[in-house]
């Protein structure tokens, strides 16, 4: 990205305010009837062309100094701060929520001139047993509570159980639900079954926003990613998401390019804007900038807001905080000063 384009986000200077309000003010995607002709009309996916496109995007961008700090703060505001470990506890989730409420050290906030700007992650994402804990810890903060659901990460329990899990998480305070699809429905091109399941998930969510995880690393081909993305949106997804973070291959820029182009095609047909969430393996500040460049170039500035873009991340915040410290001081402190417990 050229330097002039980088200035589309505010420069960090003393007293500068960065808009980070997390709100769901867009009309929700109601979905549309499944229309197989939409899938037939999707163009073939040229992997080598996608790889060239993403390589070109990341090589030609130039985001430096204050502009880079501003973009990193934007990346922070787009994060779903996540803990999805087998050893999660209520206390661990409370610590994560405390970090979400104060993601940066006071000296960094003061040095960047953002005191009072409330730069915070968009959401905290947890397993269902910890939804109530997170909802209580974040009450009144404006930070959303997201629950991974539907037999995460494989989606292979009976459908009634998966739907019941959504209802339970919403009842406990989740206002975003990240569901996972059974990948076998994609392998078998069983699009009607996939559509029906996602539509039922959408209904179970009620007012909670639905983020549909495709598990792209398991889908074999980029065309499968394209078609699954379109079916999920037709069924009423508010967001489409790359990965659970548990696959051997998670979010990659070529996959992101396929999914963003599906989002654009859906908007052209319906007028509804759909959100995008890459997840898994995004752990460095540099990689977050690459994703922001991709979103701005492919979908436009509007997709750099938390109601249309999220990072699924557990360790990204640590590196962003270190890079912001380097921006202010020219040096790095030890990683453990930033790491979350």
- Domain ranges within the chain, ordered by starting residue: 33-337
What gap in Å lies between CA 258 and CA 223, rounded to an integer? 8
Q: Say whether the peptide bond before residue 215 is cis (omega within 30 degrees of 0).
A: no
How large is the average pLDDT for residues 334-339? 57
The per-residue pLDDT for 101 is 96
For the stretch 207-232, pLDDT in tens is: 999 999 999 999 999 999 999 999 99
DSSP 122: S
The Cβ of residue 199 has, within 10 Å, a number of other Cβ atoms equal to 19
Say whether pLDDT at 301 is over 90: yes
59 flagged as catalytic: no
How large is the average pLDDT for residues 314-322? 93
Say whether pLDDT at 144 is over 60: yes
On the 0-12 / 13-18 / 19+ scale of CB atoms within 10 A, 10 is: middle
The per-residue pLDDT for 3 is 37
Banded pLDDT at 255 (limits 50, 70, 90):
very high
DSSP string, 285-334: HHHHHHHHHHHHHHT-GGGGSTTTB-EEESSHHHHHHHHHHHHHHSS---
Q: Longest Cα pair distance anywhere in the chain, in angstroms?
A: 56
Say whether pLDDT at 17 is over 80: no
The per-residue pLDDT for 116 is 72
Banded pLDDT at 18 (limits 50, 70, 90):
very low
Among 99, 241, 273, 296, which one carries the catalytic annotation?
A: 241
Say whether pLDDT at 205 is over 70: yes
The per-residue pLDDT for 13 is 46
Banded pLDDT at 43 (limits 50, 70, 90):
confident
DSSP string, 142-207: S-EEEEEESSTTT--S-HHHHHHHHHHHHHHT-SEEEEE--HHHHHTT-HHHHHHHHHHHHHHHTT
The per-residue pLDDT for 9 is 46
Say whether pLDDT at 12 is over 70: no
Say whether pLDDT at 4 is over 70: no
Q: Could you tell me the CATH superfamily of domain 33-337? A: Aldolase class I (3.20.20.70)
178 flagged as catalytic: yes
The per-residue pLDDT for 15 is 32
The per-residue pLDDT for 335 is 58
90 flagged as catalytic: no
* CA separation, residue 320 to residues 86, 98, 164, 325 (Å): 26, 17, 37, 9
The per-residue pLDDT for 61 is 66
The per-residue pLDDT for 257 is 96
Banded pLDDT at 5 (limits 50, 70, 90):
very low
The per-residue pLDDT for 63 is 74
Say whether pLDDT at 287 is over 80: yes
Distance of CA 205 to the CA centre of its chain: 18
Among 178, 218, 238, 319, which one carries the catalytic annotation?
A: 178
DSSP string, 72-108: HHHHHHTEEEE---TT--HHHHHHHHHHHHS-S-HHH
Mean pLDDT of the chain: 90
The per-residue pLDDT for 262 is 97
Q: Is 146 left (phi over 0), alpha (psi -120 to 50) or beta?
A: beta
How large is the average pLDDT for residues 302-312? 96
Say whether pLDDT at 21 is over 60: no
The per-residue pLDDT for 7 is 42
Which range has the worst mean pLDDT, 2-16, 30-44, 103-117, 270-284? Answer: 2-16
């Amino acid at each position: 990205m050229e330097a002039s384009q980088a200035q589309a986000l505010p420069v960090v200077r003393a007293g500068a305010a960065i808009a980070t309000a997390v709100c769901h003010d867009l009309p929700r995607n109601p979905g549309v009837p499944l229309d197989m002709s939409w899938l037939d009309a999707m163009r073939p996916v040229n992997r080598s062309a996608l790889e060239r496109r993403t390589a070109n995007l990341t090589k030609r961008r130039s985001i430096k100094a204050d502009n880079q700090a501003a973009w990193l703060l934007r990346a922070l505001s787009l994060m779903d701060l996540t803990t999805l470990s087998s050893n999660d506890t209520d206390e661990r989730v409370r610590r994560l929520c405390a970090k979400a409420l104060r993601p940066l050290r006071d000296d960094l906030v003061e040095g960047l001139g953002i005191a009072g700007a409330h730069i915070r992650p968009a959401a905290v994402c947890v397993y269902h047993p910890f939804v109530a804990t997170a909802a209580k810890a974040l009450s009144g903060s404006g930070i959303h509570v997201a629950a991974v659901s539907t037999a995460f990460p494989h989606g292979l329990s009976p459908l009634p159980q998966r739907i019941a899990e959504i209802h339970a998480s919403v009842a406990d305070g989740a206002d975003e639900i990240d569901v996972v699809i059974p990948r076998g429905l994609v392998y078998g091109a069983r699009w009607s079954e996939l559509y029906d399941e996602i539509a039922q998930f959408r209904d179970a969510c009620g007012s909670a926003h639905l983020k549909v995880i495709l598990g792209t690393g398991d889908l074999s081909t980029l065309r499968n990613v394209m078609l699954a993305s379109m079916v999920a949106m037709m069924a009423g997804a508010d967001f489409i998401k790359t990965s659970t973070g548990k696959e051997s291959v998670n979010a990659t820029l070529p996959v992101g390019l396929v999914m963003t182009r599906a989002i654009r095609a859906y908007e052209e047909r319906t007028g509804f804007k759909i959100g995008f969430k890459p997840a898994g393996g995004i752990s460095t500040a540099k990689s977050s900038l690459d994703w922001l460049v991709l979103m701005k170039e492919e979908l436009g500035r509007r997709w750099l807001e938390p109601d249309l873009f999220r990072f699924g991340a557990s360790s990204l915040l640590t590196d962003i905080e270190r890079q912001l410290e380097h921006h202010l001081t020219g040096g790095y402190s030890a990683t453990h000063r930033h790491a979350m417990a």
